[in-house]
Amino acid sequence: MNGAMNRRVLILLGPVAGIVMFLGVVWMASVFVGHNEYKEPYRAPAATADATPRAEGVAAEKAAAETKAKATPYTEAEYRRFPGVGSRVAIWSVAQLHLLFAAFVLAVPMFAFIIEVIGYKTGDERYDRLAHEFTNLLSVSFSLTATFGAFLTFMLIILYPKFTNYLMSVFSPTFLPYVLLFFFEAFFLYTYYYGWGKFHPLVHLGLGLGLNVVGTAIMMIANAWLTFMMSPRGISDTGAVLSVRDAIFNYTWLPINVHRFIANIAFGGSVAAAYAAFKFLQAETDEERAHYDWMGYIGNFVAISAFLPLPFAGYWLAKEIYAFSQTLGLTMMGGAFSWLFIIQAVLIGNLFLAANYYLWLGMGRVEGVQPLQKFIKYLLIGITLCFAVWATPRSIIATVSEIRAMGGSAHPILGYLGVMSAKNTAVNILILTTFMSFLLYRRTGKVATVAWAKIGHAAQLAIFATAAFIVIFLGVYGYFVEATVRIRLSVPQVSSVLMAMVSITAIDVFLFRGATRTGEVRWGRIPRISQYVLIFIAVTFTWLMGLMGYVRSGLRQHWHVYGVVRDTSPDAFTPTLGFATKVVSVTVLEFFLLIGVVFWIASLHDRPDFQRQAKTTRRTGAHEAELT
Amino acid sequence: MTVPLIARIGALVLATTAFYGYVGQMVPQKEVQPPAEVVLKSDLTTADMVKVGREIMEGKGLCLTCHTIGKSGALRFPDLAGVDGRAKSRVAGLSDVEYFAQSMYEPWAFIVPGFNPGMPPINKPPVGLTDQEILCVIAYLQTLGGTPTVTLQTKHHYNSGTTAAPPSQGVSPGGTQPEAPLKGEKR
């Protein structure tokens, strides 16, 4: 009774205290302004005082300054300088942060939706819980994406006003739909998140689908702006707009849409897996560990599954860049940016190694894994060799005497591994090997019981061997044919790998239908180091996104819009790769600092209420006092 | 002493980014400046033009990004060693100067057999060489297998010269005239 009274008094006192505080602030502000307001010192009225020569001089000076200011015509600034780091680095950093959060916000609903569908179809509530947990990360990330988007827009208007004005004039019809879609995005996102379990499952899935469709549409509009800058279309030589439709449907728009769509899923999956790893390492019970181990596995599975076809989307994008302008393509692969792809090879090689290592560690969860573990060393050898080939540069950094001894900047033997024939072969074999790791993991602890099991295994092996043979054969053949033929060889290489992955997976699904289990999957029984591997994968993915974002944008060199609007600012030069990688590193650190905040805010959801926690602490204290 | 989890994760993130940043420092470092706008002096001699032409080919013209000089094997674009000797007889009715001019102003008018079209018009952005700069490039190209003859006053079909219009009997790799400009040509 007393407690209830106190509560009522508190409820009454709350607004009263608020009003008193508001009045107090108004009073303090008025006193402060009143006492500190600038007041002109008292001077005798002009009529009663003689004007001194000094006063006349001051008045004349003031009048002249006013006249001059009025006569100065208004001029529009072309560029403004950002203090310290300069305008380009400032824009670069903010744009990168915006894109990283946007990628995350677009990706998470995709796999949350798919996981929810699986949960709905199978009736397994674990999937529903997992999908909900993934969306926990969304709302804060969405706010940060919007904040960085607004920040980027203001920075562009302030620092690059003339160019921003031009871009806005070209794409003016796209802005209203963009804003409207943002409203829809917010509607779908919040109803999807807060409506979890409140609607019929199909209605909820509809909201998830809406969220994904709207999110993808937003991405495609923004992609039109940035791809136009790289491969402009629909304008005259002087930049006058001829067709907004053509400006949107420019050469690189569609490949960038596809590439980003897949890359976002890979990146989002890796960050969600890192979140699970963080929670796993924090977990205190076996149940929690089992859940977060599973969540991390799913996140990583999503990331690597999306990552495997990504190089193919990259080929398409590069092909379109060459089709638009051979000069642009050659600048990318053979000019100022060619060494960037060696750094990219190191990153992707690390991603493949880490992803495979995580899968091999994960095999320990399953009882009866020993028969398959003997294959791991062969996979490791294959991956390491491919990594080494991919990271071999065509030209070696060498001293003058070393170059003379080699007979050129390319090594007489290793130089052969630095060309596209070898690299295409290496990356395709790398993808096949990682796919094999997945397959091995998938069948750990299972024995196929279908009547055609032997034939099925043999067929899978034959398809795998054929795909590997085609890739290697065409890779070697590429050394003996002209460039025009060689370029086209990547298509059958890629197609054979894709065909192999699709057909082997299809056979596997039927092969292991109704399979007997030799051992259970013990979720949570995985070495702790595996969780650090997941975090490493997320950082590497993020860094890779930063690097590839740089090459896509930096490729334009001293052009805002390639070949049309020239960059005449002091930042028009192309920086060294060393400088670019420093900017990427700092941006990645900023992102992880912010994503740490997102994780922390998301984890508040699991905390007990403050009052309940306080009561529990008090009770525990009293109990302990009684005992003593 | 146990290191707090957050510190361990922070160290991992820092070490990973630092490692990739370090890899970035290991590759060759080159800062590429935008091409400077240079006004050529009107009294350049042919010998001066050859030097300027070579500079343009290596820099602003971006010619040597694709073309090679004195390289054989499976090339993506024609090698330029001895090109002047070939230019004189490559297209019937075109002198070497006219042929070079056509190759730069209208690169798709004639495609060297065995190669794919890919060269952009050099007088337009993004390369955007001036008429004078193109004459300098021609002067340099003439030294590759011939003797330079052009001056800044040399006229050809594309700089309002009096020379007859070049025949457009371009040969595509398939032996036919390319009907439409390539993807990248028309904006």
Q: What is the pLDDT of residues A533-573, one digit of tens each?
A: 999 999 999 999 999 999 999 999 999 999 999 999 999 99
Q: Is the peptide bond before A161 cis (omega within 30 degrees of 0)?
A: no
Q: What is the pLDDT of residues B98-116, one digit of tens each?
A: 999 999 999 989 999 888 8
Q: Which residues contact A565 (CB under 8 A, 6 or more apart)?
A: A163, A166, A239, A559
Cα-based distances in Å from A350 to A527, B19, B119? 20, 12, 37
Measured at the CA of A368, the angle between CA A364 and CA A369, to 5 degrees, comes to: 45
> Is residue A131 within 8 Å of residue A119, measured between CB atoms?
yes
**Cβ within 8 Å, pair B120-A327:** yes
What Rg do the C-alpha atoms of chain A give, in angstroms? Answer: 31
Predicted local confidence at residue B35, as pLDDT = 85
Cα separation, A334 vs A319, in Å, equals 14
Nearest of B100, B15, B14 to residue B63 by alpha carbon: B100
Domain count, chain B: 1
B76 and chain A in contact, CB less than 8 A: yes
Query: Residue range A333-346: average pLDDT?
Result: 83
**Cβ within 8 Å, pair A327-B13:** no
Cα separation, B128 vs A378, in Å, equals 54
Q: Which residues contact B73 (CB under 8 A, 6 or more apart)?
A: none
Closest to A585 (Cβ–Cβ): which among B20, B76, B187? B20
Residue B30 in any domain: the answer is: no
Cα separation, A285 vs A467, in Å, equals 45
Range of the domain at B138: 40-159
Angle A87-122/A529-554 helices, nearest 10 degrees?
130
**Cβ within 8 Å, pair B34-A567:** yes
> Measured over all CA atoms, what is the biggest interatomic distance in chain B, rounded to whole angstroms?
89
Task: Please list the residues that pair with A241 across neighbouring strands.
Answer: A235
Cα-based distances in Å from A290 to A137, A210, A276, A521, A522? 20, 32, 11, 10, 8
B59 and chain A in contact, CB less than 8 A: no
What Rg do the C-alpha atoms of chain B give, in angstroms? Answer: 23
Say whether pLDDT at A368 is over 80. Answer: no
**Cβ within 8 Å, pair A576-B76:** no
Residue B29 in any domain: the answer is: no
Higher-pLDDT residue of A403 and A213 is: A213
Q: Grade residue B124 by pLDDT with cuts at 50, 70 and 90.
A: confident
* Residue B105: count of CB within 10 angstroms of its CB: 20
Cα separation, A113 vs A130, in Å, equals 11
Gap from B31 CA to chain A (nearest CA, Å): 5
Q: Percentage of residues in chain A with pLDDT exceeding 90?
A: 53
Cα separation, A406 vs A389, in Å, equals 19
Say whether pLDDT at B166 is over 60. Answer: no
Whether the CA torsion A460, A462, A463, A469 is positive or negative: it is positive
Whether the CA torsion A598, A114, A541, A216 is positive or negative: it is negative
Cα separation, A250 vs A493, in Å, equals 27
Amino acid identity of residue A152, one-letter, is: L
B4 and chain A in contact, CB less than 8 A: no
Residue recorded with tokens 């739909």: A177
Higher-pLDDT residue of A257 and A345 is: A257
Cα separation, A251 vs A30, in Å, equals 61
Most trustworthy range by pLDDT among A121-125, A224-228, A431-435, B173-177: A224-228
Q: Which residues in chain A touch residue B65, judged by CB atoms under 8 angstroms apart?
A: 327, 330-331, 334-335
Say whether pLDDT at A397 is over 70. Answer: no
> Is residue A255 within 8 Å of residue A313, measured between CB atoms?
yes
B187 and chain A in contact, CB less than 8 A: yes
**Cβ within 8 Å, pair B184-A325:** yes
**Cβ within 8 Å, pair B20-A237:** no
H/E segment holding residue A13: helix A2-36
Whether the CA torsion B65, B69, B74, B78 is positive or negative: it is positive
> Is residue A490 within 8 Å of residue A471, measured between CB atoms?
no
Give one DSSP letter per residue of A380-440, joined into a string.
HHHHHHHHHHHT--SS----HHHHHHHTSSS-TTGGGGGSHHHHHHHHHHHHHHHHHHHHH
Predicted local confidence at residue A458, as pLDDT = 95
Write phi, then psi, for A366 (nearest 5 degrees).
Answer: -100, 130
Q: What is the pLDDT of residues A183-226, one digit of tens each?
A: 999 999 999 999 998 999 999 999 999 999 999 999 999 999 99
Q: Domain limits of chain A?
A: 76-337+539-607, 367-520
A341 and chain B in contact, CB less than 8 A: no
H/E segment holding residue A560: strand A559-561
Amino acid identity of residue A334, one-letter, is: G
Amino acid identity of residue B15, one-letter, is: A
* Residue A624: count of CB within 10 angstroms of its CB: 9
Closest to B74 (Cβ–Cβ): which among A336, A343, A481? A481
Looking at A49-200, list the stretches that DSSP marks H as alpha helix, in order from N- to C-terminal side. 53-71, 87-122, 125-136, 138-159, 161-170, 172-194
Predicted local confidence at residue A74, as pLDDT = 82
A339 and chain B in contact, CB less than 8 A: yes
- End-to-end, the C-alpha distance of chain A in Å comes to 31
Say whether pLDDT at A589 is over 70. Answer: yes
Q: For residue A218, what are its two tokens?
A: 């937003």
A390 and chain B in contact, CB less than 8 A: no
Query: Residue range B148-163: average pLDDT?
Result: 83
CB pairs under 8 A between A and B: 143
Residue recorded with tokens 């493949």: A352
Give one DSSP letter per residue of A440-461, joined into a string.
HHHHTTEE--STTHHHHHHHHH
Predicted local confidence at residue A147, as pLDDT = 94
Cα separation, A87 vs A568, in Å, equals 13
Gap from B165 CA to chain A (nearest CA, Å): 24
Predicted local confidence at residue A329, as pLDDT = 85
3-state SS class at B32:
strand
Gap from A476 CA to chain B (nearest CA, Å): 14
Average pLDDT, chain A: 87
**Cβ within 8 Å, pair B9-A535:** yes
Whether the CA torsion A20, A26, A29, A30 is positive or negative: it is negative
3-state SS class at B173:
coil
Say whether pLDDT at B181 is over 60. Answer: no
Give one DSSP letter per residue of A359-374, joined into a string.
HHHHGGGBTT-HHHHT
Among A45-59, A265-279, B86-100, the minimum mean pLDDT is found in: A45-59
Residue B18 in any domain: the answer is: no
**Does the complex come out with an ipTM higher than 0.90?**
no
**Cβ within 8 Å, pair A326-B66:** yes
CATH number, position B104: 1.10.760.10
Predicted model pTM: 0.80
Question: Which of A332, A533, A576, A583 to mutate to test binding with chain B, by most B CBs within 10 Å of its CB?
Answer: A576
Cα separation, A74 vs A4, in Å, equals 67
Gap from A279 CA to chain B (nearest CA, Å): 11
